[in-house]
A and B are shown apart, each in its own frame.
Chain A
Amino acid sequence: GAGVSQTPSNKVTEKGKYVELRCDPISGHTALYWYRQSLGQGPEFLIYFQGTGAADDSGLPNDRFFAVRPEGSVSTLKIQRTERGDSAVYLCASSLTGTTGELFFGEGSRLTVL
């Protein structure tokens, strides 16, 4: 596709459940980022992939959050034992070169934990 694609666009789950959010970056972009955005705030960094490996996962809030990018393209953000405080919009972005390049975002996955 032409842009960054994220699914699902909306996810409602119950506290304690497991959630997976998927990101399909722009074709050819080696760098992929996950951010979390709460209402009225800017995007908050979670994790950065360069190729298949996580180059920086320092933004993941705790060990309930995990992300993979097994073939260097599609990435999945996984959240275990969800909590109400995990409710936010999860944004994926990709870049051709990483931090020296333009960063393009998807539309986000809106997660609501009841």
Chain B
Amino acid sequence: QKEVEQDPGPLSVPEGAIVSLNCTYSNSAFQYFMWYRQYSRKGPELLMYTYSSGNKEDGRFTAQVDKSSKYISLFIRDSQPSDSATYLCAMSDFNKFYFGSGTKLNVKP
């Protein structure tokens, strides 16, 4: 079993839709949680960083962490074609970062 599981998609939505991206994990020692956006042939770009459980909002993006369920989510409101990319979740204990395999999102104009 992988440390971090992420649905690879692809996920296709119309412009303006609310997008929900999710990851599950198995290691209860994870404390730090991140979401990255990766455009084709580019490096991952950090979108959100959260510590422990709870919500964090930044513009159209909201990150949620539920440590009791070992489940994290990224919500994108009013999605735009420019949001079309692969979204990677990542998390760390005090030793390493662990990444999901990424969900490919396509926002159709």
Contacts and interface: CB of A to CB of B under 8 A. Distances in A.
> What size tier do the contact residues of chain B reach?
20 to 34
Nearest to B8: A40
Contacts of B31: 100
Which size bracket describes the interface of A in this complex?
20 to 34
A102 B46 contact: yes
B13 to A, nearest CB: 20
Contact of B34 (A40, A45, A102): A102
Contacts of B49: 102
B6 to A, nearest CB: 8
A45 B101 contact: no
Nearest to A105: B43
B32 interface: yes
A106 interface: yes
Contacts of B90: 42, 103
Interface in A95-109: 99-100, 102-108
Interface string B75-109: 00000000000001010111111111110000000
B95 A91 contact: no
A49 interface: no
B32 A99 contact: yes
B46 A99 contact: no
Given A43-B44, A45-B97, A91-B44, A99 B92 contact: yes
Contacts of B94: 99-100
Interface of A: 4, 6, 33, 35, 40-45, 48, 56, 91, 99-100, 102-108, 110
Interface of B: 4, 6, 8, 31-32, 34, 36, 41-46, 49, 88, 90, 92-102
Of all A-B residue pairs in the complex, the 7 with the closest CB atoms, nearest first, are A42-B99, A105-B43, A99-B92, A107-B43, A42-B101, A105-B44, A102-B49
7 contacts: A42-B99, A42-B101, A45-B97, A91-B44, A100-B31, A103-B97, A107-B42
